[in-house]
């Protein structure tokens, strides 16, 4: 529904526009008359009457046309709003920037063509330039949004590389499909051990969706798991970006990911051994979640035999306590009688908590 105040304002502006057009028409008519009758003596009241009559006529015409024009403008604005609602944010941004660039070019051209003056011809030329080049820039920006976003990504990537080299800032982390489906990256990211912005390109999201739509039950289940992990990442990670930029000349998702990471000085996170090797060949740094899991695997496992020095009594009756070189506590069943001595033990269980690790053992 249109606002009454806005409708009144539009009526006033249209009437003023009509008066302006009428005055311009009167000026043009008088100028043409003087050109064709150079020696004619025009009474003083003629220009006044011409301007007054044409101004009033133009205002009345547009006043009568106001309802139809307002309806048309309202319909056009609704259509434009629906079109904008359907456009992705990156495409809308690209179209607006294209429009602005088109208007800038039109302004520059109008300055170059200043010999047309500021009369009716100059005003017509100005309107044509702004409308034509503005529309051209808008349409080009809308159609070329992917290339534009890719160019911006590469430019920002160059700045990112410079920051990393100069100040040691954390690089962007590009997460591949295998790492998202694996799921462990979510818990690792939550701990805050990995610094920097997590970037998931849109083509990786599309690949996960494609896997989730597979006819193969196993692939479909993996794809759905990947989508669920992706949803949790978007909800829980503040430093997560879904990058709409694409490299249309490339088809393989892994190659696209490596290209983006290389252009932006980023790091690839994966569980794919082959992708890790390809990253090394391409000069792209990579982090393999499997390697991290291997590094964090406990050095002491159930059934391992150790020789330790029992240093004190435990909390429970008969228990003795020993320590590994890294300070990990070992609680030894029936070890109290060996306090102050070395003893051979067998690990019965390993308890891992956020506070650290505790080992339980018995005498051999």
pLDDT of residue 168: 45
- Per residue in 59-79, pLDDT (tens digit) is 888 888 888 887 887 787 788
Q: What is the DSSP string of 66-83?
A: HHHHHHHHHHHHHHHHHH
Same domain (yes/no): 292, 336: no
Q: Per the structure, how many domains does the chain have?
A: 3
Q: Based on the fold, state whether residues 242 and 323 are members of the same structural domain.
A: no
Half-sphere exposure of 204 (CA within 13 A, CB side): 26
Identify the domain containing residue 283 by its residue range.
Answer: 168-296
All residues at 6 or more sequence positions from 182 whose CB lies less than 8 Å from its CB, including other chains: 271, 289
What CATH code is carried by the domain that includes residue 338?
Answer: 2.40.50.140
Point out which residues pair with 345 in neighbouring strands.
306, 363
CA dist 46 and 50 (Å) reads: 6
User: Which pLDDT does position 196 carry in this prediction?
Assistant: 81
Mean pLDDT score across all residues of the chain: 82
pTM of the model: 0.50
Question: Are both 275 and 177 inside the same structural domain?
Answer: yes
Same domain flag for 77 and 179: no
| Helix H or strand E segment including 306 | strand 305-313
Span 114-123, average pLDDT: 64
User: Can you say how many angstroms the Cα of residue 347 is from the centroid of all Cα atoms in its chain?
Assistant: 51
> 181 with 276, same domain?
yes
Specify the pLDDT at position 364: 85
Q: Identify whether 353 is part of a domain.
A: yes
Structural domain contains residue 107: no
Residues 203 and 288 in one domain: yes
The residue with greater pLDDT, 307 or 146, is 307
In a domain, 274, yes or no: yes
206 plus 292 within the same structural domain:
yes
Whether 56 maps to a domain, the answer reads yes
> Distance between alpha carbon 246 and the CA centroid of its chain, in Å?
12
């Amino acid at each position: 529904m249109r606002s009454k105040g806005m409708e009144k304002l539009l009526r006033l502006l249209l009437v003023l526009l009509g008066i302006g057009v009428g005055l311009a028409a009167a000026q043009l008519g008088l100028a043409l008359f003087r050109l064709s009758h150079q020696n004619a003596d025009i009474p003083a009241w003629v220009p006044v009457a011409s301007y007054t009559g044409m101004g009033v006529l133009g205002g009345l015409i547009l006043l009568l046309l106001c309802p139809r024009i307002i309806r048309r403008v309202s319909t056009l604005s609704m259509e434009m709003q629906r079109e904008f609602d359907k456009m992705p944010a990156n495409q809308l941004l690209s179209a607006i920037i294209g429009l602005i660039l088109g208007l800038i070019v039109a302004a520059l051209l109008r300055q170059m063509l200043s010999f047309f003056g500021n009369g009716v011809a100059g005003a017509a030329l100005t309107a044509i330039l702004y409308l034509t080049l503005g529309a051209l820039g808008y349409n080009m920006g809308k159609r070329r949004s992917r290339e534009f976003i890719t160019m911006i990504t590469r430019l920002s990537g160059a700045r990112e590389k410079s920051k990393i080299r100069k100040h040691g800032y954390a690089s962007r982390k590009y997460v591949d499909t295998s790492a998202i489906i694996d799921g462990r990256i979510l818990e690792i990211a939550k701990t805050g051990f990995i610094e920097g912005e997590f970037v998931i390109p849109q083509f990786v999201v599309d690949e996960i969706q494609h896997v989730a739509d597979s006819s193969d039950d196993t692939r479909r289940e993996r794809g759905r798991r990947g989508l669920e992990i992706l949803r949790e990442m978007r909800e829980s990670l503040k430093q997560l970006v879904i990058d709409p930029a694409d490299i249309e000349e490339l088809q393989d998702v892994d190659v696209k990911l490596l290209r983006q990471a290389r252009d932006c000085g980023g790091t690839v996170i994966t569980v794919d051994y082959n992708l890790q090797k390809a990253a090394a060949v391409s000069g792209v740094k990579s982090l393999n979640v499997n390697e991290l899991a291997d590094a964090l695997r406990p050095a002491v496992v159930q059934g391992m035999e150790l020789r330790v020095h029992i240093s004190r009594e435990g909390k429970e009756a008969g228990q003795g306590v020993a320590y590994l070189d890294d300070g990990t506590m070992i609680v030894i069943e029936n070890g109290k009688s060996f306090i102050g001595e070395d003893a051979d033990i067998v690990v019965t269980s390993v308890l891992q908590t956020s506070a650290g690790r505790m080992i339980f053992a018995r005498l051999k």
